[in-house]
């Protein structure tokens, strides 16, 4: 499987203090505070919300 770094995102929990840069194929993966997957909102502060 080949991942596309432009379509990938990272979501860090509030317990993670790391700001380490994540890369795929020498391209930075975007760090986000929240995203929606199949109607469920995930965020870095509270986890999963409906």
Decide if 39 is inside a domain. Answer: yes
Say if residues 29 and 6 touch (Cβ distance below 8 Å).
no
Split into its structural domains, the chain has a count of: 1
Q: How far apart are CA 36 and CA 21, in angstroms?
A: 22
Residue 7 covered by a domain = yes
| Residue-range definition of the domain harbouring residue 45 | 1-12+26-50
CB-side neighbour CA atoms (13 Å) of 30: 10
For residue 42, is it within any domain? Answer: yes
Q: Is 25 left (phi over 0), alpha (psi -120 to 50) or beta?
A: left
DSSP code of 33?
S
Condensed to tens digits (0 to 9), the pLDDT of residues 13-48 reads 776 667 788 999 999 999 888 888 888 888 877 665
Q: Is residue 19 part of a domain?
A: no
Average pLDDT over residues 6-12: 88
The model's pTM: 0.61
Decide if 20 is inside a domain. Answer: no
Q: Does 41 fall in a domain?
A: yes
* Per-residue tokens: 10: 């990272």
């Amino acid at each position: 499987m080949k991942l596309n770094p432009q379509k990938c995102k990272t979501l860090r929990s509030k317990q993670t203090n790391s700001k380490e840069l994540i890369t795929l194929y020498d391209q930075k993966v975007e760090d986000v505070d929240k995203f929606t997957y199949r109607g469920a909102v995930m965020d870095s502060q509270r986890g999963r919300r409906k």
